Structure 1
Amino acid sequence: MKILSLRVLAAIAQAEQDREPTPAELAAIEAEMPLIQAEVALLDAQIALLDRTPSELDERQLRRARRRVLAARRDLANKGANEAPGVAA
Structure 2
Amino acid sequence: MKHIGAVQTDVTTDDFDNEPAPWDLVDIEDEMPLIQAEIELLDVQISLLDRPATETDTRRLRRAHRKVLAARLVLANRDGVAFSDVA
Q: TM-score, normalization: structure 2? A: 0.78
- The alignment's C-alpha RMSD in Å is 1.7
DSSP-derived class of the 2:80 partner: helix
DSSP-derived class of the 1:54 partner: coil
**Structure 1 stretches (4+) deviating beyond 6 angstroms?**
none
Counterpart residue number, 1:9: 11
Counterpart residue number, 2:52: 53
Unpaired runs of at least 5, structure 1: 83-89
Q: Report the alpha carbon displacement of residue 15 of structure 1 after superposing the two structures with TM.
A: 3.0
**Superposition pairs for residues 1-89 of structure 1, below 5 Å?**
3-5=7-9, 8-10=10-12, 13-18=13-18, 20-81=19-80
Aligned partners of 1:81, 1:17: CA distance in 2, in Å?
A: 28
Deviation string 1:56-89 (CA, Å, 9 cap, x unpaired) is 000000000000000000000011019xxxxxxx
Report the identity percentage: 52
Q: Report the alpha carbon displacement of residue 22 of structure 1 after superposing the two structures with TM.
A: 1.4
